[in-house]
């Protein structure tokens, strides 16, 4: 599915830091990076992203030039 560009973002958070758990999702994480698909591997970041995505309205987002930030 990643190779067919059917997925826009990957959230892959290991349950723990054991070598077997980290290697389980390696192919998914590697494919996401190789195919330029956004990848989140941190639960705190995933939570913040989901919150922002669900609470921000499209009309609240302003497009600005880099210099305006």
pLDDT in tens, the chain (69 residues): 888 889 999 999 888 778 877 777 888 899 999 999 999 999 999 999 999 999 999 888 888 899 988
Number of neighbours of residue 46 by Cβ within 10 angstroms: 15
Residue 34: predicted pLDDT: 95
Q: How many domains does the chain have?
A: 1
Residue 45 lies in a domain: yes
Residue 40 lies in a domain: yes
Residue 46: predicted pLDDT: 95
Residue 63 lies in a domain: no
Residue 22 lies in a domain: yes
Locate 63 and state its tokens: 């497009």
**pTM score, two decimals?**
0.71
Residue 65 lies in a domain: no
C-alpha to C-alpha distance for 36 and 48, rounded to whole angstroms: 21
Domain extent for 37: 10-57
Residue 62 lies in a domain: no
C-alpha to C-alpha distance for 66 and 17, rounded to whole angstroms: 38
Counts of helices then strands in the chain (DSSP H, E) = 3, 2
């Amino acid at each position: 599915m990643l190779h067919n560009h059917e997925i826009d973002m990957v959230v892959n958070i290991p349950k723990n830091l054991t070598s077997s758990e980290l290697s389980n999702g390696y192919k998914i994480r590697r494919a996401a990076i190789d195919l330029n698909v956004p990848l989140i591997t941190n639960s705190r970041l995933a939570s913040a992203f989901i919150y922002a995505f669900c609470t921000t309205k499209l009309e609240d987002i302003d497009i600005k030039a880099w210099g305006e930030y």
